[in-house]
Structure 1
Amino acid sequence: MQNGIRIAVVDDHALFVRGLELLLPEVSGGRATVVASTGDAAYAASIVRNAVPDVVLVDLHMPAPGGRHAVAAVRAAAPRSRVLAMSGDDDPAVAVEALRAGAAGFLPKSSDASSVLQPLLAAIDGWAVLPAGLLDVLVDQGRTRAPQPAVDLAEEDRRLLGLIAAGASTGDIAGKLHVSDRTVKRLTASLLRKLRVSSRTEAAALAGSAGLL
């Protein structure tokens, strides 16, 4: 486990950001630090290029271009940074859109600061971080969108899907399959097309609900 966790925050609520700046170092014993923040979604890509954070927390309810745009922009600008979307409401559709844009997980803004550290560590380790209620929604969607019987995954596709479902990062998958990170991304994109889903999280939910493993 790494010693320091660099966090960037994209949120237009200044008091919430300040609270994270003060509380995260306290609850993490100094390991988690907010190194950059912006209240403008249009500047999300810029701050992550400069700060090189491990995790980026993005509020989904921001003025245009909006939180979903910020998630996608951060993913394009800093592929190695893990993005966790945040929201103050319970609408699962908003969280699902963020996951489709490339977020690695979702955190309710109602979460207590002391409970945020473990999801941050899990995200860095390559896990998808989701509240139980949102996971139930994704599983239900997976049942309704399960592949047709004609979809027959090859053994290498099933192994890749198993690694994705286990929360393995791109680097971990590359090491286990003895291929490059670029090859893993290409194989993952191909697998998502076969499964007719748009993200690793949806693929993992589908794998469990449809019995693909």
Structure 2
Amino acid sequence: MHHGPFVIVIVDDHELFAEGLELLLRRDWGEQFVIGGRTTFVEEAADLVGSCNADLAIVDLSMPPLGGVAAIRHIKARHPATRILALSGTDDHQLAEDALRAGADGFLSKTVRPEALVGPLQTIAAGLKVLDPGLLDRLLSSTRKPASSLADSLTPADLKLWTLLSTGMETVDIAARMVVSERTAKRMVASLLHRLGVNNRIAAAALAGRSGLLEDLAEG
């Protein structure tokens, strides 16, 4: 169980924002959070987290020259238990996605006032993820979109094969359903996985679920 206030470090080159946040936390939330330190340099982020044994790091993504994603990677590599809230002043969703892949536990756009960060910090400290609503919408819609354009490039036979695969059918049964030899079925499955950009059947099934392929079949 965590005792005492959570130690936070701020990795951000906007002095005003960092200062404002530090003042706010100290004034109103001092029993919950303490600022262990601040740095404006990506290279110092992981050292700073280590030296003050930080529970949470707030990282601005748009820091030159390495960028905040690099800072997140460094911190998570050396201090995996430290939770990270990524902030971005731009609406660059790719950057946000990169930050989450690098290990950020949350992403918010920087338009929020410092006081609006207290809730998300508490949430992340409790082990949950926090996402900007705009980013969440985009992530949800983009996971479905590529698959539909992917589906357009697949033949009806491909789609049938993908569906059979996704139901967990064995190769011998797939061969029977597709009326081909087992060897051909194996080759077709390998080729389909390659085109879907996945390396096993479970991943292919997950992709089918995400792209709505199985729902379309259920309806049709």
Q: Tell me the CA shift for residue 69 of structure 1.
A: 0.4
What is the 5 A alignment of 1:73-152?
A: 73-144=74-145, 149=163, 150-151=165-166
Alignment: residue pair count: 165
1:48 and 2:77 matched: no
Q: Which has the higher contact order (CA 8 A, sep 6+)?
A: 1
SS in 2 for 1:8: strand
Alpha-carbon distance change, 208 to 42 in structure 1, aligned in 2, over 3 angstroms: same
Alpha-carbon distance change, 210 to 8 in structure 1, aligned in 2, over 3 angstroms: farther
8 Å contact from structure 1 (residues 20, 34) kept in 2: no
Alpha-carbon distance change, 77 to 140 in structure 1, aligned in 2, over 3 angstroms: same
8 Å contact from structure 1 (residues 38, 44) kept in 2: yes
Q: Any gaps of 5 or more consecutive residues in structure 1?
A: 154-192, 197-202
In proportion to residue count, which structure has more helix?
2
Q: Any gaps of 5 or more consecutive residues in structure 2?
A: 148-161, 169-200, 215-220
1:57 and 2:49 matched: no
CA distance in 2, matches of 1:40, 1:96: 22
What TM-score do the two structures reach when normalised by structure 2? Answer: 0.65
CA distance in 2, matches of 1:16, 1:80: 25
Deviations 1:125-152 (A, max 9, x none): 2211001111101111222366x64356
CA distance in 1, matches of 2:124, 2:213: 25
CA distance in 1, matches of 2:42, 2:96: 17
What TM-score do the two structures reach when normalised by structure 1? Answer: 0.67
Q: In terms of mean alpha carbon deviation, does 125-134 or 2-11 score higher?
A: 2-11
**Structure 1 counterpart of 2:122, one-letter code:** L
CA distance in 1, matches of 2:75, 2:55: 12
Q: In terms of mean alpha carbon deviation, does 75-84 or 91-100 score higher?
A: 91-100
CA distance in 2, matches of 1:140, 1:114: 30
CA distance in 1, matches of 2:57, 2:213: 33
Alpha-carbon distance change, 125 to 9 in structure 1, aligned in 2, over 3 angstroms: same
Alpha-carbon distance change, 8 to 141 in structure 1, aligned in 2, over 3 angstroms: same
CA distance in 2, matches of 1:124, 1:17: 19
